[in-house]
Amino acid sequence: MKQSNGRSYVLLTLMVAVLGAAMLGGCDVTIGDPKIAVNLPAKNNSPDGMVLGKNGNMYLSTFNFADKTVPGTIMYIDKNDKLNTLVELIDHPDTERTCPLGIDFGADGNLYVADAQAIVGAEGAISRLLKVTIKDGKAVSVETVVDGFNFSNAVACNGNAVYVTETSLGIKDDTGVHHSGVYRFELSELDGDKPIMLKADAKDSHLIARLETRNPVWAVGANGMDFDPAGNMYVCNFGEASIEKFKMNKAGTKPLSREVLVKGKGMLCTDGMDYAADGMIYVADFLGNAVHQICPKTGAVNTLAKNPVSDGTGGRLDKPSEARLRGKRVYVANIDIPYDNNVIDAPHTISVIKLKGCCGNCKKSK
């Protein structure tokens, strides 16, 4: 039951997303001047999740939307913007492919990866959380540690836990509400020999937060996620074009309160996000083909870059899905997948936006 429910709902979501392309085309606005940080090999043409490692490398998940023979791969961009491969991931036994999206390092130093089988239309609740064990900077093993997501998406680690957004809880709701959420796992319960199998229908005890999305075209829920230094959790609600802020209990096991930090204000959706070292939030706007900087104190939005849908030439944004800060440079993964009137096209790029000092954006009111 779980698999059929999850499958039908996730596929419906993706079909609606495709149909929505005609209704929500790009616009002609161009803001900013992003450049190319890295050219990706043609086979690794669908980049998504990124995380800045303690060693200064920007780690990056890549797959190939159209070609299932290409393994999902974790790469990294070193301090000189040279691209390297960390590890190729293990294919799912049913689909024979891996589709890595969000990534983050746990307090144990290992890398946790969302394998979103749903993004390429795989059937069933078969998306996963993978653990890449790292020793001396090298990947020594890849294991499945949680199975049974409908659509695992972002990964964010805080304390001794790993949090994963579930973009669809697979719940049928005739009122037009799309249900999604956040799962939390203790590092100590993640065991490659005994993967956690999630219970269906939002009944699993690891589910700590639920989100609702009311968008008739883009029924896509919880997406990017991150924590601030005080332990507050921020979750992007894609179809609402919002970021929700959750004040957590001390242990980080459940939210005590929640608020919508920002919604809309020029954003058409909220995809991958970074609560960055400079105290600002960076969010990729897949539908708006834009990257925004958001003040977590006021919710003010400063659009750093935006352009009509492109092929990515020269660093133009090409369906960005994640933005991460390194120093004063915002790295942007152009996932370039075929939704919202976009076509997969060369070049395949990571863009970079150079920040010009402090924007002062936080001084503005909402």
User: Which residues are at the interface with Ca ion (CB under 5 A)?
Assistant: 311-312, 318, 336, 342, 345
Helix (H) or strand (E) holding 2: helix 2-19
> Is the CB of 233 or the CB of 309 nearer to Ca ion?
309
Please, what is the minimum distance in Å from the beta carbon of residue 342 to Ca ion?
A: 5
Rounded Cα gap, residues 320 and 332, in angstroms: 6
Please, what is the minimum distance in Å from the beta carbon of residue 174 to Ca ion?
A: 35
Please, what is the minimum distance in Å from the beta carbon of residue 349 to Ca ion?
A: 6
Please, what is the minimum distance in Å from the beta carbon of residue 356 to Ca ion?
A: 26
Tokens found for residue 160: 């001794």
Rounded Cα gap, residues 317 and 327, in angstroms: 20
Please, what sign has the CA dihedral across residues 193, 194, 200, 205? negative
Beta-strand relationship, 152-158 and 161-166? antiparallel
Residue 365 and residue 312 in contact, taking contact as beta carbons nearer than 8 Å: no
Please, what is the minimum distance in Å from the beta carbon of residue 336 to Ca ion?
A: 4
> Is the CB of 170 or the CB of 312 nearer to Ca ion?
312
| Nearest alpha carbon to residue 153 among 108, 99, 195 | 99
> Is the CB of 7 or the CB of 306 nearer to Ca ion?
306
> Is the CB of 161 or the CB of 344 nearer to Ca ion?
344
> Is the CB of 165 or the CB of 289 nearer to Ca ion?
289
Please, what is the minimum distance in Å from the beta carbon of residue 348 to Ca ion?
A: 5
> Is the CB of 46 or the CB of 127 nearer to Ca ion?
46
| Nearest alpha carbon to residue 121 among 217, 213, 8, 270 | 8
Rounded Cα gap, residues 354 and 362, in angstroms: 19
Looking at beta carbons, which residue is closest to Ca ion?
312
